[in-house]
Amino acid sequence: MIFNKDLLATAEPPLIYLYKLAQNKREKGIPVIDLGQAIPDMIPDMNSIRQLYPILEEKKTHSYSADLGIKETRRKIAESMNVAEENLIITSGANNAFFQVLLLVSRYDDEIIVFSPFYFNHTMAIDMLGRKKRILEMKDSENEWCIDTEELRKSINKRTKAVVVVSPNNPTGAVFNKNDIERVQEICIESDIAFIYDEVYREFYLTDKERYNPLYLDSSLRNTFIIGSFSKTFGITGWRIGYLIVSSSYIPELLKIQDTIQICAPVPSQRFVGEILLNRSPQSNDYRETLIMRRDFLKNALLKSRNLVWKSVDGAFFGLFPYKKKIPSQKLSLELLKTHNIIVVPGAAFGKNAEFHLRISFGNADEKILANAISIVDNYIEELKNE
């Protein structure tokens, strides 16, 4: 059988093999420390969960909604985002929203610009759809990851259809400078290409930096596509629900994609998010404070480490940290799991300039777990020789 060559050429997700190996260990009763996947260790407040019980008994919960999503949930989401309801589509997560935007704004062989270190699911989607990814490396400025806007300006060509910005950033935990994001958006508007702004971690600013609002520069949303998710915000990663904010004039074309791929986002998930927004408590603010304490603890641990190097984390709940020995990150992460039962994500999964880095997540690990894991990783690297 002949398969899609673009799909065959797409890199495999780096977490699948690691989690398969970890599952084998757990089935044997071996505990595994998970600093890999970007998931929070919170769940929705119990009041919202209790509101779900009677909803599940209603027949309409188990049927399709409108392709755009349940009107009342869309209204609540739009209000929480300070956008018009007519500009919002509910999707099955942010990855689904990104896939739809790619299909809308580009064709086979068109070019999409991403900044490296990049979110690997974005580059995987670009590859499997037969688009060409153009990778621009971020600058390492004063221990922070930064976008080189001048390099971006020079890189735009007639094949370029979109530029992708993720802030707070996955995998680095960086919150990009407001002026840099604004300049990227300006370049996209001037070039009449799509500015795809992924704000999945918008609720997890661990800094006083101002949150960027793409609507200030492009209120009509002619060139701007805003992608988000409730998976991390509400601790419901398994419910698969996100959103896409776009110009209402693009909605008819997007509904062709939505109806073909999924028809609508899962209705129980839509109704649950509606209830959470209606009954929202200060829980997410409390959790943000928890993340700040964990981030600061991790910072102190890495500053004392012999082999791991701290880089600033201003958002989300993970960071991409260099280590001092020249050992391929895929080999290092695999050996850490095999020999010490610790999951970390190899930097190589996020681009060439992320090699000799590890992404370490603190969303699912308290200070005690972090202290133990960082000590083990540091000591293990210390014993290794450069390759």
pLDDT of 181-196, one tens digit each? 999 999 999 999 999 9
Most confident of 15-24, 47-56, 111-120, 280-289: 111-120
CATH code of the domain covering residue 336:
3.90.1150.10
Cα–Cα distances in Å, from 245 out to 4, 118, 154, 222? 31, 22, 28, 11
Residues 297-323 pLDDT 10s: 999 999 999 999 999 999 999 999 999
Last residue of a domain, which of 278, 312, 329?
A: 278
**Average pLDDT, stretch 36-52?**
86
pLDDT tens, residue by residue, 341-358: 999 999 999 999 999 999
The answer to whether residues 334 and 371 belong to one domain is yes
pTM above 0.75, yes or no: yes
Q: Are residues 160 and 32 in the same domain?
A: no
Among 278, 305, 329, residue at a domain's last position:
278
Mean pLDDT, all residues of the chain: 93
Give residue 208's domain range: 48-278
Average pLDDT over residues 87-107: 97
pLDDT of residue 210: 85
pLDDT at residue 43, as a whole number: 86
pLDDT at position 46 is 84
Q: Residues 91, 96, 98, CA angle at the centre, nearest 5°?
A: 110
The per-residue pLDDT for 185 is: 98
**pLDDT tens profile 146-173:** 999 999 999 999 999 999 999 999 999 9
Lowest-confidence range among 34-48, 90-104, 247-261? 34-48
What pLDDT score does 286 carry? 82
* One domain, residues 122 and 201: yes
Residue 282 has pLDDT above 60, yes or no: no
Considering the domain architecture, whether residues 316 and 293 belong to the same structural domain is answered as yes
Which amino acid is residue 381, in one-letter code?
Answer: I
Position 142 scores a pLDDT of: 67
Domain check: are 334 and 320 in the same one? yes
Do 73 and 176 sit in the same domain of this protein? yes
* pLDDT score for 318: 97
Name the residue with higher pLDDT: 23 or 387: 23
User: Is 322 found in the same domain as 266?
Assistant: no
Instruction: Give the pLDDT of residue 163.
Output: 98
Measured N-to-C along each axis, helices 120-128 and 94-105 cross at an angle, to the nearest 10 degrees, of 40
Identify the pLDDT of residue 278: 77
**Please, which pLDDT band fits residue 128 given cuts at 50, 70 and 90?**
very high
Q: What is the 3-state secondary structure (H, E, C) of 241-305?
A: CEEEECCHHHHHHHHHHHHHHCCCCCHHHHHHHHHHHHCCCCHHHHHHHHHHHHHHHHHHHHHHC
| pLDDT (0 to 100) of residue 387 | 66
* The last residue of a domain, from among 216, 248, 278: 278
- Give residue 283's pLDDT: 56
State phi, psi for 156 to the nearest 5 degrees. Answer: -70, 130
Task: Give the model confidence (pLDDT) of 213-224 as tens digits.
Answer: 999 999 999 999
Contact by Cβ (8 Å): 279, 47 = yes
pLDDT at 281: 59
Task: Kindly give the interhelix angle for 367-383 and 329-340, rounded to the nearest 10 degrees.
Answer: 110
Claim to verify: residue 57 and residue 169 sit in the same structural domain: yes
pLDDT reported for residue 158:
95
Are 93 and 213 contained in the same domain?
yes
The percent of residues above 90 in pLDDT, for the chain, comes to 81
pLDDT of residue 235: 87
49-53, 253-257, 332-336: the lowest-pLDDT one: 49-53
CATH number of the domain residue 83 falls in: 3.40.640.10
Number of domains in the chain: 2
- Token look-up 């707070």 returns 168
Q: Are residues 63 and 120 in the same domain?
A: yes
Identify whether residues 342 and 256 lie together within a single domain: no
333 and 267 fall within a common domain: no
Residue 3 CA from chain centroid, whole number: 29
